[in-house]
Amino acid sequence: MITRAAPDPAATAASSAIAAALADPGADARALQRARAFAEPLLSGETLETGEPVLAHADGVVEILRTIGATADLQACVYLVYASPFLARPREVIAKAFGDSYADVAVETNKLVQLQRQARQRAQAASAAARGGEAHPLAAAQTENVRKMLLAFSRDLRVVLLRLASRLQTLRYFAASKRVPDAALAAESLQVFAPLANRLGIWQLKWELEDLAFRFLEPDTYKHIARLLDEKRIEREAVVEHMRQRLERELRALGLSVQVQGRPKHIYSIVKKMRGKSLDFEQVHDLRALRVIVETVEACYRVLAWVHDHFTPVPDEFDDYIARPKPNGYQSLHTVVRDEHGRAFEIQIRTRAMHEHAEHGVAAHWAYKEAGTKGYAGVSAASSYDAKIAVLRQLLAWQRDLSGLSHGLFDDSIYVLTPQAAIVELPKGATPVDFAYAVHTDLGHRCRGARVDGQMVPLNTPLATGQTVEIIAAKEGGPSRDWLNPEAGYLVSHRAKSKVRAWFNAQAAADNIARGREQVERLLQREGKTALKLEELALELGFDTPDALFEAVGKEALTLRAIEQHLRPAEPAPTDAELVVKKHRAVTSARSGDVLVQGVGSLMTTLARCCKPAPPDDIRGFVTRGKGVSVHRADCPDFQALAQRQPDRVIDVEWAARGDAAQPVVYAVDVGVQAQDRQGLLRDISEAFAREKINVIGVQTQTVKGVAWMTFTVEVSDATRVSRVMAVLGDVPGVQRVWRR
């Protein structure tokens, strides 16, 4: 947020430095000069929400970028970024005056600033709501999402560098003015910006961001460590300087071109080491630290060998980051040794190219002037390395690294915001419906419309990173079946799809329960068993609850005949004399000799009407009273209920071998279909049977709440044909389920 205020004298130093740079006739500062001249009348007298004058802030950011080796073109982008909010059409105006590349950076950076501010406010509110001083889980999630979103916005690394430098300048302003920033801003600096600077290898920015943020977050600890450092500073600096001169003198005597520096101590890194390794202040080895800079990698290892020969190495305190560089490309040898007096020194050994990379990170890659007139990521080069081939190789390595980094962040995910500025991660191509289900399942069910950045859009509109999505929801209702149609493009995320399917499954279950309850209650009235407790009946039939029983009946997994037989008293087992032995007669269209009863001989058999078996179904026999053997499919619920009550009546049966017959045997089989009712549904299903050359001899259909329940009785000579036609029926539009009854 920018407001109007009087000029601040504190801006004088930074502005003078910029003016001096622009006045240098040898500097290629034409773009920088034009950009500052363009922005100055717009920014004069304006202040940021922190209270810092905008122009002074921009000058400070430019100075930070200059110190890490950024080019004049990148520095020029700073002024255009802060001028953008004061332009009616910033992209068009900046593109016309400076080019599309500048306009893209200015607009994208401003958009990212706004989103980060909203996300920080959201995280701050969540932390304030946490109890017992513990961090709210949302705050941690927001931090991770802000980190991802920062990278997702930053295909052009100029945007990253501008944000890093801007945040550092903001912390410097608070430190200089002796004010304390919001805890959320300091925490974001420590948890998001400093790690990102480290990831990009920009060590200069990393350590200063960490120290300043830590100073505001834990002022007491910061002052305590600073006091400890000051107590013996003169003595420690004298010891370090003596060791520095000795190393430089004796290494040069070996013929090595070396530069030995004292390394600054950073309070946050000291605290991290003390906490991570449970050390006292005096046990931290890098309180006395030196850096040796040489020309070649071979010289690095020669220096290391000399140091270990003349001093006592500390065990487990050696790291070879030359052979195994850090993920951000950092290379150096680290070792800790003790002198004759037992004092520990940390010594870093690296080449000049490694040192330049450690200081400037990715910014150092743009220094290779032969990268082209536009340089890397559209940034022109201003200086050169001596080791040009090494820099080119590092540049290519960075391109591969960023390509690998972007695969998970840029290509697979997008990051959009709720109206309350919460960041929501979604798969690429996600729609407002996906967004609604990601926020809350109930919101997804009731979703009826959406606004994206304030504009109404269709629900199947693909979203993009950075957009703000507002869902328009009904007070009640459920999802549309069209959402599950992949060609309509309403849903991309697996989570949203599963939620929609679960809703329709729950609705089908409710319909089945209502239908089953009605049928069971009618049966109990007919049998005079209305006083029977439904809970007991359900348990006796193997169901945990009455609703589970009703659902099984409603979806025809259990027939009313099975319940009827359960309610009636069991018949005594037949004696051998009661078994009717006579020749088979034709039952329906099947021949009597198609089923053989094993071990008994020729018995009368009938094909059960509840499951209508047909070869080659696995079948079982049940001896009835006066009607011979009733033949069921082995998976028939009625048979399983009978077998549980009267297992002694179960006998083995099998299909008889068929001989040549003039008239083929056909069997009646029932096929159940559940489908979304629509015009032409019965016609399409009938045509599917016709294409498979299967004769339909009966149809029963009923529609409940837009869902059609149909039973087709067909004639087949082989049950395998039923399986084939069921697969075909499953492809008919609107069909939800097909099963053998």
- φ and ψ at 412, to 5 degrees? -105, -20
pLDDT at position 123: 60
For 277-292, write each residue's pLDDT tens digit.
777 776 665 677 889 9
Q: Is residue 47 part of a domain?
A: yes
**What is the CATH classification number for the domain harbouring 125?**
1.10.3210.10
Same domain for 271 and 252: yes
Quick one: tokens of 416? 């959009």
Among 310-319, 390-399, 431-440, 646-655, name the one with the lowest average pLDDT: 390-399
Count of structural domains, the chain: 6
> Phi/psi class of residue 656: alpha, beta or left (left: φ > 0; alpha: ψ in -120 to 50)?
beta
Residue 695, domain CATH? 3.30.70.260
Which residue segment(s) compose the domain that 322 sits in?
Answer: 228-360
Is position 660 within any domain? no
What's the pLDDT band for 637 if we cut at 50, 70, 90? confident
pLDDT above 60: residue 365 = no
CA distances from 76 to 98, 105, 485 (A): 10, 11, 50
Contact 463, 426 (CB under 8 A): yes
Read off the pLDDT band of 171 (50, 70, 90): very high
pLDDT in tens, 289-347: 889 999 999 999 999 999 999 999 988 889 999 998 886 678 999 999 988 888 888 89
User: Which pLDDT score is estimated for 687?
Assistant: 87
Kindly state the tokens that stand for 386: 């001596």
36 and 170 in a single domain? The answer is: yes
CB crowding 498-526: b at 16 or more within 10 Å, else e: ebbeeebeeebbebbbebbbeebeebbee
Other Cβ atoms less than 10 A from the Cβ of 448: the count is 12
Residues 649 and 703 in one domain: no
Domain boundary pick from 620, 655, 690: 655
Q: Does 57 lie in the same domain as 32?
A: yes
Together in a domain, 9 and 64: yes
The arithmetic mean of pLDDT across residues 202-224, rounded, is 88
Q: Are residues 518 and 581 in the same domain?
A: no
Identify the band that residue 609 occupies on the pLDDT scale cut at 50, 70 and 90. Answer: confident
CATH number where 470 lies: 3.10.20.30
Decide if 522 is inside a domain.
Answer: yes
Residue 213 lies in a domain: no
Round the average pLDDT of the chain to a whole number and report it.
77
Residues 352 and 423 both lie in one domain = no
Instruction: Select, from the ranges 256-270, 401-415, 592-606, the one with the highest average predicted confidence (pLDDT).
Output: 256-270
What is the spatial distance between Cα 124 and Cα 185, in angstroms, rounded to a whole number?
9
pLDDT value of position 29? 65
Q: How far apart are the C-alpha atoms of 351 and 289, rounded to whole Å?
A: 17
Q: Is residue 332 included in any domain, yes or no?
A: yes
Q: What percent of the chain has pLDDT over 70?
A: 74
The pLDDT value given to residue 150 = 59
Q: What is the pLDDT of residues 406-433, one digit of tens each?
A: 444 445 677 787 787 666 888 889 999 9
Whether residue 233 is found in the same domain as residue 196 = no
Domain shared by 458 and 428, yes or no: yes
Residue 261's CATH number: 3.30.460.10
**How far is 308 from 336, CA to CA, in rounded Å?**
9
For residue 461, what pLDDT is reported?
93
Decide if 387 is inside a domain. Answer: no
pLDDT the model gives residue 108: 82
| Cβ atoms of residues 501 and 491 within 8 Å | no
CB 413 within 8 A of CB 428: yes
Tens digits of per-residue pLDDT, 426-466?
888 999 999 999 999 999 999 999 999 889 999 999 998 77
Same structural domain for residues 598 and 641? yes
Looking at the fold, whether 240 and 332 belong to one and the same domain comes out as: yes
Q: Identify the domain boundary among 567, 587, 614.
A: 567
Strand partners, 716: 667
Q: Which conformational region is residue 601 in: left (phi greater than 0), alpha (psi within -120 to 50 degrees), or beta?
A: left
Q: Does the residue 610 lie in any domain?
A: yes
User: Would you say residue 401 lies in a domain?
Assistant: no
Give the pLDDT band (50/70/90) at residue 572: low
Same domain? 470 vs 605 = no
Final residue in a domain of this structure, among 202, 217, 246: 202
- Share of residues in the chain with pLDDT > 90 (%): 19
